[in-house]
Structure formats: structure tokens, C-alpha cells
């Protein structure tokens, strides 16, 4: 599918007389990261990895930082290079599936997903399918028809593989897709796949998001709306930075 890669910004006056930037983007599909974009599972993730770090004698804060935004087995390999990685990963996944306290839907996520045609969006997550399904159901979010999770990839973010595969399962070129991410590794994955990237401020600051290559920076999904047209999707971003 051929789409217009150009975004069209305009300036609209707010009720307080201030100006906010509105940008319209033509694309084929939206590719969403999960944690930090659609849901917030930070408390549960921190609890599981803190316990794991203490059990193995590591600095919990260092482990938690390393675990965010990538497959759990990658963190295990980093800290326990000589361990049984599959067994350790299975145990971490079991704990994460059981610990669902504090998982919430992030602003605008449900409205945005339910407004999109089912064949025009997917989720690209570093969680396993089993874990991702549990968290999405707890957050009362729809499951995509086809999606990419840790079970589907060999090289996780920031490698381009996750977003290349996501575009492929939907049947579009990555350059015709827009990625929605919250961390630099995910942004780099999307950009290296040749997609455009919307970054959300839920996890990191503007400077790091911009340095990673984000095309647009927003607060959350409440600043994104979408409608279908004959060429695909028109995405409208408000309060763009």
C-alpha cells in the first residue's frame, strides 16, 4: 500500500488563548508497544524483579532498570550468564502472571484501540504471549488479531526485528506504519525498521526520547485519535512536541 509519509501540522488556539500543535499523519497501521504505552504494570514488574534480584544477590534497582522494555530472558542472560536460562525465565514469567496488582490502563488506550479497524493495528511486546494476554485482559483492553511477543522474536528491541515482523503480519511495509513507544530501545527498534515513531512520556524524558529518534513526543494515547479512509488511517496528534 502506498501512503503519504508527510505529516501536516497546524496551530489551533486553546480556550486559554494558547496555541497547541495538531499534526495529521497518513499511514497504513499503528504498531503499539504494550507496557508504558497501553498499560502500566510498573509496580508488578518491580516487585517480581526485586525479589529475583535479592534471591540472586544482585542490586535490585540495577536489575529493575535493565529489565524494562526487553524480554525477561535477556535480563536473566545478562546477570546469570551460566544459569539455566529457560528455567529461570519460566519462573520469572510464572511470578509475573500471578502478580497483577496495580496494573492499570493508561489514558486514552482503550478509546484509541477500539476506534481502530482490527486489521490496522497490532501490539509488539517484549512480554511472552501468556503474560501479555493476562495483563491486557486485566486492563480490559482488546487483544489484536495478530501480534508479536517475546515468543516470536530472536532479537529483541532495539533490534528492528520486532517491528519488521509486526508490519509483516499486518501485510504492510514498515515505512507505511507508525510505531507508538515509550523507551529509547523501542524507538530505535521502530526507526531502524524504517517506521515513523510516536514517543510517549510515560517512562522517559523528552531529551532521551528525541535522541533515540522519536518523530513526535506526546503525553499519552489520549493525545492520539484515528479514522479510517480509503488509503488507510489518518492519525491526529494533539499537543505535539
Rounded Cα gap, residues 27 and 228, in angstroms: 10
Rounded Cα gap, residues 37 and 28, in angstroms: 20
Rounded Cα gap, residues 70 and 49, in angstroms: 13
Of 35, 176, 204, 220, the catalytic one is 35
What string of DSSP letters covers 132-146? HHHHHHHTT-PPPSS
CB within 8 Å of 39: residues ≥ 6 apart: 103, 104, 105, 106, 109, 135, 136, 139, 141
Strand partners, 20: 12
pLDDT single digits (tens) 198-213: 999 999 999 999 999 9
What string of DSSP letters covers 196-220? EEEEETTSS-HHHHHHHT-SEEESS
Answer yes or no: are the C-beta atoms of 159 and 187 closer than 8 Å. no
Residues in the chain: 241
Answer yes or no: are the C-beta atoms of 14 and 20 closer than 8 Å. yes
Give the pLDDT of residue 61.
Answer: 94
Query: Is residue 33 among the annotated active site residues?
Result: yes
Give the pLDDT of residue 20.
Answer: 58
Of 33, 176, 182, 220, the catalytic one is 33
CB burial class (10 A; 0-12, 13-18, 19+) of residue 62?
exposed
Give the pLDDT of residue 16.
Answer: 34
Query: Please, what is the Cα angle at 155 between 202 and 89, to 5 degrees?
Result: 80
Listed residue (137, 196, 138) closest to 167, CA to CA: 196
For all residues of the chain together, what is the average pLDDT? Answer: 90
Give the pLDDT of residue 70.
Answer: 77
What are the per-10-residue average pLDDT scores of the chain (241 residues)? 42 39 94 96 92 95 86 92 93 93 95 96 94 95 93 92 98 98 95 98 94 97 95 93 78
Amino acid at each position: 500500500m502506498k501512503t503519504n509519509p508527510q505529516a501536516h501540522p497546524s496551530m489551533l488556539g486553546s480556550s486559554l488563548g494558547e496555541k497547541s500543535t495538531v499534526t495529521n499523519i497518513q499511514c497504513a497501521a499503528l504498531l503499539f508497544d504494550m507496557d508504558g504505552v497501553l498499560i502500566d504494570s510498573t509496580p508488578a514488574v518491580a516487585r517480581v524483579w526485586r525479589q529475583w534480584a535479592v534471591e540472586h544477590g544482585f542490586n535490585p534497582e540495577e536489575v529493575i532498570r535493565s529489565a524494562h522494555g526487553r524480554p525477561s530472558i535477556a535480563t536473566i542472560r545478562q546477570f546469570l550468564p551460566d544459569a539455566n536460562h529457560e528455567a529461570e525465565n519460566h519462573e520469572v514469567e510464572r511470578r509475573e502472571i500471578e502478580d497483577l496488582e496495580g496494573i492499570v490502563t493508561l489514558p486514552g488506550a482503550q478509546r484509541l484501540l477500539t476506534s481502530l479497524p482490527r486489521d490496522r493495528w497490532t501490539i509488539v511486546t517484549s512480554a511472552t504471549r501468556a503474560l501479555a494476554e493476562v495483563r491486557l485482559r486485566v486492563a480490559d483492553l482488546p487483544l489484536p488479531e495478530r501480534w508479536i511477543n517475546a515468543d516470536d522474536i530472536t532479537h529483541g528491541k532495539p533490534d528492528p526485528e520486532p517491528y519488521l515482523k509486526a508490519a509483516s503480519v499486518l501485510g504492510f511495509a514498515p515505512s507505511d506504519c507508525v510505531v507508538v513507544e515509550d523507551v529509547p530501545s523501542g524507538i530505535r527498534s521502530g526507526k531502524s525498521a524504517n517506521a515513523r515513531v510516536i514517543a510517549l512520556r510515560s517512562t522517559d524524558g523528552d531529551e532521551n526520547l528525541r535522541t533515540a529518534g522519536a518523530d513526535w513526543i506526546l503525553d499519552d494515547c489520549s493525545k492520539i485519535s484515528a479514522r479510517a479512509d480509503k488509503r488507510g488511517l489518518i492519525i491526529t496528534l494533539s499537543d505535539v512536541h
